[in-house]
Amino acid sequence: MSEKAHYGLLKGKKGIIFGPLDESSIGWQIAVHAHKEGAQIAISNVATALRFGNIEELSAICGNAPVIVCDASKNEDVENCFIELKEKFGPVDFIVHSIGMSQNIRKQLPYEELNYEWFMRTLDVSGLSLHRLVSYALKTEAVKDGASILALSYIASQRNYWTYSDMGDAKSLLESIVRSYGPRLAKRAIRINTISQSPTYTKAGSGIPGFEKMYEYSDLMSPLGNASAEECAEYAMTILSDLSRKVTMQNLFHDGGYSSMGATIPMIKLAHEVLNDKELAARVGLDDYTPARECPES
Ligand SMILES: NC(=O)c1ccc[n+]([C@@H]2O[C@H](COP(=O)([O-])OP(=O)(O)OC[C@H]3O[C@@H](n4cnc5c(N)ncnc54)[C@H](O)[C@@H]3O)[C@@H](O)[C@H]2O)c1
């Protein structure tokens, strides 16, 4: 395969990426692309991720990028992280939040029976942590005027996706924090956005019950097909670069058109096939499906 073109979009810029774990991670791909686009980057994750992931490998790929251990749900960790980052790099041009975790999803608890301690933890780690990162980046003066702050979201922030459970609530919080911070950061020309990404096979993604079916459904509903982690990273480069200086407070869909579709021909064809083929219905787990409400007779 030929090497992809790079454009020096982040030449001379410095930044930190929170959340790369392994090659499948969206954060990993963003780190690799930021490095290739000319940025000097630091990588951060929790201590356990450093033990179980391949972060040292990522650091080597990205020109021996410094690795900073930080639990984004702990004030002290986040403060120390930005102090260390500033010592190493001075104030940075971009911050990427690529963090998500739900114990309720891991344990597959029904939404009606969530464990509230885990629920609070989901909101804290996956939503509030963005607030904390921005807050301490400002307090420690570790972020430059004109910087770009980016987090990853999913459409379940706005619509119901049954198995996405409390992560949907966390994503709503995340997107709301982006809006609340927007005008405040704009005083320093700092912009803040989320990218709302297609379902993607990563550690966090594939832990969602029925992920495979969600992935297939989304692919059929997206005119351009699901977007990969690598494609997400490519799009992220424009948001971290000076090419998007006036884009802020946005939830930017990067989903192959999924969010604007009503129905697609492949989806309608599949529905017809399933309705007319009991064996196929059984194969996709719809043989015992009964609608919540009977349709009125025509
Ligand atoms: N995979 C998908 O389908 C998908 C779709 C849309 C958005 N996203 C979002 O993309 C982001 C990255 O997730 P991913 O899919 O690449 O999965 P991933 O599992 O590779 O990354 C999630 C990261 O969060 C880190 N993390 C967990 N708790 C943390 C804490 N307390 N402090 C710091 N880091 C912590 C994990 O160690 C991991 O590296 C998440 O916000 C996720 O919700 C994912």
Residue 295 has a pLDDT of 52
Residue 27 lies in a domain: yes
Q: Name the residue of 16, 18, 21 to mutate for ligand 1: max ligand atoms within 8 A of Cβ.
A: 21
Residue 47 has a pLDDT of 96
For residue 61, what is the enclosing H or E element? helix 55-61
Report residue 256 as tokens. 């192959």
Q: At 110, which CATH number? A: 3.40.50.720
Q: Name the residue of 30, 76, 98 to mutate for ligand 1: max ligand atoms within 8 A of Cβ.
A: 98
pLDDT in tens, 133-182: 999 999 999 999 999 999 999 999 999 998 899 999 999 999 999 999 99
pLDDT in tens, 53-96: 899 999 999 999 999 999 999 999 999 999 999 999 999 999 99
Compute, in angstroms, the gap from residue 30 CA to the centroid of ligand 1: 12
Integer angstrom CA distances of residue 94 from 18, 28, 35, 161, 240 = 11, 15, 13, 31, 6
pLDDT in tens, 43-53: 999 999 999 98
Mean per-residue pLDDT over the chain, rounded: 93
3-state secondary structure 112-181: HHCCHHHHHHHHHHHHHHHHHHHHHHHHCCCEEEEEEEEEEECHHHCCCCHHHHHHHHHHHHHHHHHHHH
pLDDT in tens, 254-265: 999 999 999 888
- Predicted TM-score (pTM) of the model is 0.94
> How many domains does the chain divide into?
1
Residue 139 lies in a domain: yes
Whose C-alpha lies nearest to ligand 1, atom 20?
25
Instruction: List the domain range (segments joined by +) for residue 72.
Output: 14-210+223-260
* Residue 48 CA, closest ligand 1 atom number: 37
Residue 296 lies in a domain: no
3-class DSSP state of 208: coil
